[in-house]
Chains A and B, each alone.
Chain A
Amino acid sequence: MDKKNIESYLTFLLKGEMFAVSVNKVLEIIETGEEHTISYLPKAAKSISGVVNFRGNVIPVIDTRIKFDLQSFQEKEKFVVIVLNLLINDREQMVGAMADKVVDVIEIDQAEIKSVPEVGQGYNSEFIHGVVHRNNKFIMLLNLEEAIGTEAITKLRLDKNEDITMTNQTKPSEAINNIELS
C-alpha cells in the first residue's frame, strides 16, 4: 500500500499490551491535569470518557480500554491522552485516545508486519491491521479509524469459544443507543 517501506510508529501500553499507531496520525501527547481536565459528557457512549480542551478545540476523548474491552481506567490511575487526527466518515477529526503510557517511536519495515494470527488466541483483524514482533514482544498495529468509526465497543482479542460479543458489563444495545454517529 505505502510507497515507502519504512514508517514510524508510536508505541503505547494499554493494560500491559503494546500497541502502535502511525506517527502521521499523532498530533500531540497530552498529560491530563490543570490545563487538560477531561470534562464528563453526559449521555455519551460508555467508551467516550469526556471532552478535553486541545489547542482551543473541544475534542472527544476515547477510553481505549473500554473501547477495546479491557478493564477500564480506575479513578486514580495515571494515563496520557494521545491526540490523533483521524479520517472518520470522510472528515478529518481530532480525537483523543487514552493510553497507560507512551513507550517509544519505532521504525517498522512494512515487510516486518505479519498478518493477524488466526489460530489460537486470535485477534480481531478488523481493527488490527498487523502484528510486529520486537524484543520477544508482540506489537499490535491499530487501525484506529475503523475502531473509532464504529460506535460500539470493539473486542480486539477473540477467545476461542466466544464470538465477537460484549462482556456482560456493557450491553451492546446500550452502547449503540447512547451514541449515534452522524
Chain B
Amino acid sequence: MSINDISKFKHLFIEEATSLLNSMESIILELESHPNNLDLIQEVFRVMHTIKGVSGMYAYQGMSDLTHSVENIYDLIRNGIVPVSQDILDTTLTVVDQLFALLKDKDIEDEKNASRQKELLYWCETFLANVNHSNEKIQLKKNSDSHKKVTYNVILHTLQSVVDRKINIFYTIKDLAEIGEIKSINPLAVEAEEEERWSIFIVGEFGNEDIEDALMFVYEYCIIRKVADFDIFNNKELDENQNELLAEELMHHSKAEQSVITTSDKLTPSSIKTSKPEAMIDSIKQNMNRVAVDSEKLDHLMYLVSELITTSSQLNLTTTSNNYNSIRSHLEKLDKLSKQFRNNALDIRLIPIRDIMPKFNRLVRDVSLDLGKEVEFLTEGMSTELDKTSIDMVAEPLVHMIRNALDHGIESPEIREENGKTRKGVIKLKAYNSGSDIFIEVSDDGKGLNKDKIIEKAIEKGLINNRENLNNKEALFLICQPGFTTASEVTSISGRGVGMDVVRQKIAEMRGELEISSEVGKGSLFTIKLQQSIAILDTLLIRSNKMKFLLPLSDVEVCTQKPYHEINDRLHHGTIDHENELIPFISIRKLFELEEHDTPMAKMIIIKKNNLRCAICADEIIGQHQAVLKPMGDLVKSHKEISAASVLGNGEVAFLLDTNSFKYDKHYDS
C-alpha cells in the first residue's frame, strides 16, 4: 500500500472515527446506568450519524450500512418510541467493536467480520421491523411528510489549501448531516493529485441558507445546486426495498421495511432544533480545549527538542573550556530556556489516564459477566497524566492485572456472602503522582494471595529450593517468575499468575517498578511505579576505562569509593560490604570485559531498585547528565545490560545501564 494511494483526508477520518468510537464505549456504559438520560441517547445518535456520513464518503460501505441501522434504532429511542434495553446496549457495544474492526478491514474481507456484520445488520433489521410494525400509525404520518423535502447537490472541492487552513472536512460533513440526510457522497475524477472533489446529495427540509450555514467554512470551495423539490431518492428506494423484503421476509408486510427508510429521513425540524445548537456548542467546546495533533508531529518536536538540548550542552562545554565570560550570561539564559522548552514539549505529550479508561470499563463488564461475578469498578485520579508512549505501554499490563483481579481475586457472590463480605466485589484503579513518579494501583477486595501456597507451588515448579530465606514480598514476587503458573494451574493454587511475568517484563521495559502486597481473605494491591516520561531521564554519568555509562539518578542512593584491590578480592563472591551489610556488586570492567586501568580507587555507586541494594563499581563518576534516550538498534540488542544510549555534549555516546537487568533474584536460583 503506497502512501500516495491514501487520500489526504482519509487518515483524518480514521483518527476522528477512532476517537468517536472510543467515546462511544464510555457513553454506552454510562447509558447502562442511566438509561433515561436523553443527552446520552442523543449523543449516540449523533456519533452514529456522523460516522455514517463520512464513512460513506471514503467508501467504507460496511461501516455506513451498520451505523445507518443503529442510528435508526437510536432515533426511535430518542423519540420515545422504544425504551433503552440491555439488548440494545449489548448490541451497540458489539457494533462499536465491529466498527473498530471495519476501520481496519474496509471491504470486510475478514470472514469473522463478515459474519458478524451480517448478524448485526440482521438484528437491527428485525428489531426495526418489529418496532415499526407496532407503530404503523406513526410511520404513516411521517410518510406523508416526505413530500416537503428538497434535494440538493453539493460539489465540494477540497485541496491542499483547505488542509493548510486547518479546516476539518469531517466537521463540515457533520454539519451537513445535521440539516438533512446525506444520500450519497461520491468522489469525482480530478486532474491533479493533491485535490479531491466530492459530489454530495442531500435530502431534507431546509432552505438555501441552512445549507450555506453548514458549509460556512468551505463555502468558497463549493458549488451548491438545488436538484428537486422532492426527495429524489425516496420513491426509487422504496421500490427496491420492497422487492428485497418480499424475497426475504414474507411475514412482515411492506410497511415494516418502509419505515426503515422513513425513520432515516426523519430529521424533522423539531429534532433539528433541539440537537443542532447543542452539538455545535459541544464541538466548539471540544475544539477549544483540545487540539488533535498527529503523534508523528509530536515525535518530531521531541526530536528537535532533544537536539536543542544536546547542542546547548555542547555549547556549554566549549565555553567553559575557553573562558568566554562575555557570553556566559546569555548562555545560561539559553540553557534555562531550552530546559523550559523541553519541559513544555514533554508536557504536550502527556495524556490523562482517563483516555484508556473506557477499555477497562468494558473489560470489567465483559469479564465479570462471563465469570458470573458481581463487580464494582471504581476509579480514582484518572486525570493523572502520563507520556503518550507510557500510556500505550502501560495499557497491556493493566489489562492483565485487572483481568487477574477479576478472575482470581474476586470470589463468586455466593462465596463472598459465606465469608461475610458484600456480594459485589470491588476492583479499584487508582493513579496519582508523587514527585516525578507516577503510581498506578490496581486493588481488589477478593481473597488475596496465599504466601504459603505460592511458595509450595514454586518449590514444586522447581523455581526455588527452600522457603526459609524468603520474606513476604519476595514470596509474593514469585508469581511474576516466568513459568510460575499457566492458566490451568492458577485456580488450584488460589493465587494469580496469568501473564504476571509479562506484566513485570513490560513494566521493566518502561523502567518502572512493580510492588505487590496482599492479605489473605482481604484482597491484594498491585502498584506500578513509573516515570512520567521515558524519553528524557536524569542520569548519573560514570566512566569505566574509556567507556561512559549512565545510571538513572532516581535509582542512585549513595556514592562511595574503595581501593580496587579490595574489589578484585571479592569478585568471586559477588558481594561486598557496605555499611556493615553484604550487598551484591557489579564491576563494570568485568561485566564488559574492559582492560585493567590504573586507578587505585574504584568508585562505588549504590543503587536501590525494586527495594534491593546493589553496588556498581566504576573508575570515575563524572556528574549529572540529562539524557535524551535513544533506542539501540536491533544489531546491538544482544546487550541486555544496556537498554538505551544517549549522545553526550561532545558527540560521544554513553550507554544507559539497565538496572532492572541486574540479577537481584539471584538468591532464588541458588
What B residues does A1 contact at CB under 8 A?
A: none
Within 8 A of A (CB), among B621-670: 628, 630-639, 645-647, 650-655
Stretch at the interface among B115-123, B172-180, B215-223, B302-310: B302-310
A51 at the interface (CB under 8 A from B): yes
Against B, the Cβ 8 Å flags (1 = close, 0 = not) of A39-57 are: 1111110001011110011
What B residues does A13 contact at CB under 8 A?
A: none
User: B310, B592, B639, B653: which contacts A39 (Cβ < 8 A)?
Assistant: B653
Within 8 A of B (CB), among A51-109: 51-53, 56-60, 88-89, 91, 93-95
Q: With CB as the reference atom, state the residue of chain B lying closest to A51.
A: B653
The answer to whether A181 and B635 touch (CB under 8 A), given A42-B594, A56-B630, A58-B630, is yes
Q: How far is the CA of A60 from the CA of B635 in the complex (A)?
A: 7
A180 at the interface (CB under 8 A from B): yes
Q: Once the chains bind, are B636 and A44 in contact (CB under 8 Å)?
A: yes
Q: How far is the CA of A95 from the CA of B633 in the complex (A)?
A: 9
What A residues does B654 contact at CB under 8 A?
A: 39
B593 at the interface (CB under 8 A from A): yes
User: A43, A44, A91: which contacts B634 (Cβ < 8 A)?
Assistant: A91
Against B, the Cβ 8 Å flags (1 = close, 0 = not) of A13-56 are: 00000000000000000000011110111111000101111001
Most buried by B among A42, A91, A95: A42
CB distance from B229 to the nearest CB of A (A): 55
Q: How far is the CA of A142 from the CA of B585 in the complex (A)?
A: 46
The answer to whether A37 and B547 touch (CB under 8 A), given A56-B630, A58-B647, A95-B635, is no
Q: With CB as the reference atom, state the residue of chain A lying closest to B544.
A: A42
* Chain B residue total in the interface (Cβ 8 A): 30
What A residues does B573 contact at CB under 8 A?
A: none
CB distance from B471 to the nearest CB of A (A): 34
Q: With CB as the reference atom, state the residue of chain A lying closest to B645.
A: A58
What B residues does A50 contact at CB under 8 A?
A: 653
* Chain A residue total in the interface (Cβ 8 A): 32
Q: How far is the CA of A89 from the CA of B637 in the complex (A)?
A: 13
Q: With CB as the reference atom, state the residue of chain A lying closest to B646.
A: A58
The answer to whether A179 and B303 touch (CB under 8 A), given A56-B647, A58-B647, A95-B633, is no
The answer to whether A42 and B635 touch (CB under 8 A), given A34-B651, A37-B651, A51-B645, is no
Q: With CB as the reference atom, state the residue of chain A lying closest to B310.
A: A56
B546 at the interface (CB under 8 A from A): yes
CB distance from B351 to the nearest CB of A (A): 24
What B residues does A52 contact at CB under 8 A?
A: 653
What B residues does A41 contact at CB under 8 A?
A: 636, 639, 655
Q: With CB as the reference atom, state the residue of chain B lying closest to A149.
A: B635
A182 at the interface (CB under 8 A from B): yes
What B residues does A44 contact at CB under 8 A?
A: 636, 638-639
The answer to whether A88 and B630 touch (CB under 8 A), given A34-B651, A39-B653, is no
CB distance from B172 to the nearest CB of A (A): 37
Q: How far is the CA of A53 from the CA of B637 in the complex (A)?
A: 17
Q: Once the chains bind, are B634 and A93 in contact (CB under 8 Å)?
A: yes
Q: Once the chains bind, are A59 and B633 in contact (CB under 8 Å)?
A: yes
What B residues does A37 contact at CB under 8 A?
A: 650-653
Q: With CB as the reference atom, state the residue of chain A lying closest to B588.
A: A42
Q: With CB as the reference atom, state the residue of chain B lying closest to A57.
A: B630
Q: What is the predominant secondary structure among interface residues of chain B facing chain A?
A: mixed
Q: Once the chains bind, are A89 and B636 in contact (CB under 8 Å)?
A: no
CB distance from B302 to the nearest CB of A (A): 10
User: A34, A53, A178, A182: which contacts B653 (Cβ < 8 A)?
Assistant: A53
CB distance from A43 to the nearest CB of B (A): 6
What B residues does A89 contact at CB under 8 A?
A: 634
What B residues does A178 contact at CB under 8 A?
A: 638
CB distance from B639 to the nearest CB of A (A): 6
Q: Once the chains bind, are A39 and B635 in contact (CB under 8 Å)?
A: no
Most buried by A among B547, B630, B635, B652: B635
Q: Once the chains bind, are A53 and B592 in contact (CB under 8 Å)?
A: no
What A residues does B637 contact at CB under 8 A?
A: 180-182
Q: Once the chains bind, are B633 and A94 in contact (CB under 8 Å)?
A: yes
Q: Once the chains bind, are B634 and A181 in contact (CB under 8 Å)?
A: yes
What A residues does B636 contact at CB under 8 A?
A: 41, 44, 48, 51, 60, 179
Against A, the Cβ 8 Å flags (1 = close, 0 = not) of B80-94 are: 000000000000000
Q: Once the chains bind, are B633 and A39 in contact (CB under 8 Å)?
A: no
What B residues does A43 contact at CB under 8 A?
A: 592-593, 638-639
Q: How far is the CA of A56 from the CA of B548 in the complex (A)?
A: 18
Q: Once the chains bind, are B633 and A53 in contact (CB under 8 Å)?
A: no
Q: Once the chains bind, are B310 and A88 in contact (CB under 8 Å)?
A: no
The answer to whether A88 and B635 touch (CB under 8 A), given A42-B594, A53-B647, A58-B645, is yes
What A residues does B652 contact at CB under 8 A?
A: 37, 39
Most buried by B among A37, A43, A52: A43
Q: How far is the CA of A148 from the CA of B638 in the complex (A)?
A: 15
Q: How far is the CA of A60 from the CA of B592 in the complex (A)?
A: 17
Q: Once the chains bind, are B633 and A93 in contact (CB under 8 Å)?
A: yes
CB distance from A152 to the nearest CB of B (A): 13
What A residues does B631 contact at CB under 8 A?
A: 58
What A residues does B592 contact at CB under 8 A?
A: 42-43
User: B303, B651, B655: which contacts A36 (Cβ < 8 A)?
Assistant: B651
CB distance from A39 to the nearest CB of B (A): 4
Q: How far is the CA of A53 from the CA of B592 in the complex (A)?
A: 21
5 cross-chain CB contacts under 8 A: A39-B654, A41-B655, A50-B653, A60-B633, A179-B636
Q: What 5 A-B pairs are tightest by C-beta distance, nearest first?
A: A42-B592, A39-B653, A58-B645, A53-B647, A180-B638
